[in-house]
Structure 1
Amino acid sequence: MKQTPVRNSALRGSARPRMLRAVYSGSLEVYANLALEQQLYEALQPDEIVLLLWRNSPSVVIGRHQNPWTECDLQAMQRDGVKLARRASGGGAVYHDGGNGNFSFLAGADYYDQQLQFSIVIAALAALGIAAQRSGRNDILADGRKFSGNAFRYRKEKSYHHGTILIDTDLPRLSAYLNPAHTAVRESKAIASVRSGVVNLSELKAGLQWPAVCRQLVAGAERAWGGAARVEQIDQQRLDGDDDVRARVAELCSWQWLYGRTPDFGCVHRLERDGHGGSESGAELELELQLHRGRIADLKLHPDQEYAALAQQLRRTLGGVRYRPEDLRRCAAALSRDGPARSVCRQLALQLQATADTPLGTEEQG
């Protein structure tokens, strides 16, 4: 199969970086790999390019400006031990497991070339006998179906481009976790994912393995930037022993980063009316919440006229409280006696149980 040409349009002809590094992560921990990517990016020199190659155990990774309650099935993920991660780049939600590979191009401003980086990926797959094309939404397709979603982060002095490569991922699980059956969210300022038909490359090239893709990606980078890469292997033990990586992991797995950074949204929870006076047993009321930076900014109860007094009490109790089961249970415990307000707090905490036991982390000020 004819290989897609790799053209160097933004490197000023024969210009080369001082160093091209190919870094292989042996970790399958999503937070450790994202922390490593951040560390490499922060330390990146202006005349340096890094190609990071990595995989994760089952996890869902959402974009920086997304809402986890709308992007993934948190209850199913909690049940199955699938981790939630939020990356620092934009873009949509993706599912990772051992059958999916990830690449990251990190480059100084003079060397960052998004079109070239896409061409390296496409050329690497062409060398393996797979015809791929870039789509208009920054996906890469084969046989008309998506196998690679890509996202970016830009700064004046450096940028990065990372993406997935579906090789032999568990597509039924991908579909299950990225398509929540129910969500309380009704309106949101978050960026929503655009769902696409996907394909495993092993369906198109039997026996394809991640190491073979890695070798071609590194070879393509060497051709594109005109020099041999310095190859580095980083294992989990090395990451565990790195204080900076551990600090970054602590932030990446915190409630404040995963949930508290969610753009403002509104949601509606249906709760039992038991003990709310004058309502038939088993009937429901609707609790409408407005969330700002992960905290309850306002609320309404429906039917509003019947529960005006309760709504006022809940505003006093829940105003400014984190949308987090542990915080809601503390609110319930702080109320002086059993009653409607305590029942609402307990029921809301139960409905958010899928986010329980997430370390809080440091809250951003301002």
Structure 2
Amino acid sequence: MLRNIVRFQNFTSYRYNLRSFSTGGTGVNNNDEVSPRSLLGKKLKIIKSTTTNPLFNIATEDWLFKEFDLTHQVLFLWRNSPTVVIGRYQNPFKECHLQRMDEDKVVLSRRYSGGGAVYQDEGNSNFTFLSATENYDKKRNTQIIIDALEKLGIPTPEASGRNDIVVMGKKVSGSAYKQSGKRSFHHGTMMIDVNLDSLQKYLNPNKDKLKSKGISSVISRVLNMKTINPDLNHKVLCDQVIESFLKTYGSELAETCEVVELNTSHLETIPSLKETYESLMDWEWRYGNSPPFEHQFEKRFDWGIMDINMNCKKGLIEECKIYSDSLNPTMIEEINKQLLGVKYSPEGISLALDNVKQLFKDTEYSNQIDELKNWIIKEI
């Protein structure tokens, strides 16, 4: 399939042998090919990430969208190690079970685009189509994915609503779209063998939203395609998507198509990509970008009732009021004081209460503070 390997701007790249990808056959009708005249002077480019680092992959997508030559029709293929990816304006403290994620080393990622929270792991493949807005066609992009799935033996995949591809009534792919001036992209997921237990373990979906759609759980409405085709994996699926992509645009454009492979080593050679990657890694972006919210929780301990009310902004505890019948009001006042301004996270709260414990060491209140710390961390 590979014709030659060359170096292209410090990237490993290669071209496909188009004898393997005739424009006839199942999946795309020759009459449906995009007219080369409509894309005169344009080229095809395929980018493949060889790393599963989710923050690098999201950074790469943003870099491609902002800086790449989108006179090309670009297809970016990638997958992530375990991560929960939230939308730009979402609150991770409400959307995710952060303590479970922290314990299992599941990365929290926040993308620049909107939309909902999704769990991803190596059992999910991602695609991104990027182009100039004048050549952007989300129906065509969706059909490329549908054609690839059909060729792999997935029965009757079909577009559903604005964003999904479903098989036998269950979602196998979800998409989102973005346009900014003369640039557009369409990205989405393809579920091969996602750990559905993890999906349910780390996501905290809005119960009212599920109820309004008649859905009992997140996993009840999704389908892993490996249950239909046991031979399916990331490479097999990506190769088929590439074939569908090349067939759609026809042999004249496909003849000049290059495939470029990227990984984290390119952070050192592309300064703007590195800058975006570091921004996505930042705690302030992932957690502090959350909208203001309140959290109230209450528990009766042997030594008294604790009724805690927190107001949080940008991921920090901006206001904290504790109501209690504890016999040590000084301890309650100190806890209130220490919690102000700390990160609304297990680490931030643990550090604050450890400071309080130091003030009451060698007293009966030391154990009470430990109990309180463990409870608050569990609650958040």
Q: Is the Cα–Cα contact under 8 Å of residues 326 and 349 in structure 1 kept in the other structure?
A: no
- What's the TM-score once normalised by structure 2's chain length? 0.73
Q: Which residue of 1 aligns with 2:198?
A: 173
Q: Which residue of 1 aligns with 2:311?
A: 290
Question: How many angstroms apart in 2 are the aligned matches of 1:6 and 1:135?
Answer: 25
Matched, 1:216 2:244: no
1:202-234 residue CA offsets vs partner (Å, 9 max, x unmatched): 111231122222122223323334421321122
Task: Name which of structure 1's ranges 139-148 and 319-328 shifts more when overlaid on structure 2.
Answer: 319-328
Question: Aligned with 2:240: secondary structure?
Answer: helix
Question: How many angstroms apart in 1 are the aligned matches of 2:147 and 2:121?
Answer: 24
Q: Which residue of 2 aligns with 1:79?
A: 103
Matched, 1:135 2:160: yes
Task: Name which of structure 1's ranges 238-247 and 258-267 shifts more when overlaid on structure 2.
Answer: 238-247
Q: Which residue of 2 aligns with 1:24?
A: 48
Unaligned runs of 5+ in 1: 182-193, 274-280, 356-366
Task: List structure 1 runs of 4+ shifted beyond 6 angstroms.
Answer: 4-13, 306-316, 343-346
Task: Name which of structure 1's ranges 109-118 and 5-14 shifts more when overlaid on structure 2.
Answer: 5-14
Q: Is the Cα–Cα contact under 8 Å of residues 335 and 356 in structure 2 kept in the other structure?
A: no
Q: Is the Cα–Cα contact under 8 Å of residues 271 and 344 in structure 1 kept in the other structure?
A: no
Q: Is the Cα–Cα contact under 8 Å of residues 271 and 347 in structure 1 kept in the other structure?
A: no
Question: Aligned with 2:39: secondary structure?
Answer: coil
CA RMSD of aligned residues (A): 4.0
Aligned partner of 1:157 among 151, 164, 182: 182
Q: Which residue of 2 aligns with 1:233?
A: 261
Unaligned runs of 5+ in 2: 1-24, 207-216
Q: Is the Cα–Cα contact under 8 Å of residues 316 and 342 in structure 2 kept in the other structure?
A: yes
Question: Aligned with 1:75: secondary structure?
Answer: helix
Deviation at 1:294, TM superposition (A): 1.8
Matched, 1:144 2:172: no
Deviation at 1:337, TM superposition (A): 4.2
Higher helix share: 2
1:70-149 pair list within 5 angstroms? 70-130=94-154, 131-136=156-161, 138-149=163-174
Count of matched residue positions in the alignment of Structure 1 and Structure 2: 336
Distance 1:7-1:43 versus aligned 2 partners, 3 A rule: farther
Letter in 2 for 1:173: S
Task: Name which of structure 1's ranges 255-264 and 292-301 shifts more when overlaid on structure 2.
Answer: 292-301
Deviation at 1:116, TM superposition (A): 1.7
Distance 1:8-1:91 versus aligned 2 partners, 3 A rule: farther
Question: How many angstroms apart in 1 are the aligned matches of 2:321 and 2:286?
Answer: 26
1:29-86 residue CA offsets vs partner (Å, 9 max, x unmatched): 1111111112111213342322110111222212222222222222222222221211
Q: Is the Cα–Cα contact under 8 Å of residues 85 and 110 in structure 2 kept in the other structure?
A: yes
Distance 1:125-1:353 versus aligned 2 partners, 3 A rule: same
Question: Aligned with 2:288: secondary structure?
Answer: coil
Sequence identity percentage: 32
Q: Is the Cα–Cα contact under 8 Å of residues 11 and 110 in structure 1 kept in the other structure?
A: no
Question: How many angstroms apart in 2 are the aligned matches of 1:17 and 1:257?
Answer: 39
1:280-319 pair list within 5 angstroms? 281-302=302-323, 318-319=339-340
Letter in 2 for 1:69: F
Question: How many angstroms apart in 2 are the aligned matches of 1:322 and 1:73?
Answer: 16
Question: Aligned with 2:221: secondary structure?
Answer: coil
Question: How many angstroms apart in 2 are the aligned matches of 1:210 and 1:127?
Answer: 15
Q: Is the Cα–Cα contact under 8 Å of residues 73 and 180 in structure 1 kept in the other structure?
A: no
Question: How many angstroms apart in 2 are the aligned matches of 1:291 and 1:254?
Answer: 18
1:33-72 pair list within 5 angstroms? 33-72=57-96
Question: Aligned with 2:52: secondary structure?
Answer: coil
- What's the TM-score once normalised by structure 1's chain length? 0.76
Distance 1:324-1:73 versus aligned 2 partners, 3 A rule: closer
